[in-house]
Amino acid sequence: DPTLIALRDELYTVPYKNISWSAERHTCSSLDDYSPVTLLQRFLHNVLAVYETHLALWKLPPFSWARNAGIRFAMQYIA
């Protein structure tokens, strides 16, 4: 989609395909940083990222129900 490509070129300072999303997981603009992220939150973000990347593919308990509920909630929130 040409519009999407143009937005990516305008929004990011490096080419979109070269962005290491795992390295940027905790990056936030100072204008958007209303409350600091604690070490516990960073740890949990990383654990959930590993789960989403590797374990959720096999729908392993105990979090598969929570993941599905979270996705349903997010989709209702977006719509």
pLDDT of residue 49: 84
For the segment 1-16, the average pLDDT, to the nearest whole number, is 91
More confident site: 27 or 6: 6
Amino acid 39: pLDDT? 93
pLDDT score at 15: 92
CA distance 22 to 24: 5
- Give the Cα separation of 67 and 74 in Å (integer): 10
Give the whole-angstrom CA distance, residue 72 versus residue 30: 30
pTM (two decimals): 0.54
Q: Enter the tokens of residue 52.
A: 């989403």
pLDDT digits (tens, 9 = 90+) for 41-60: 999 988 888 877 777 666 66
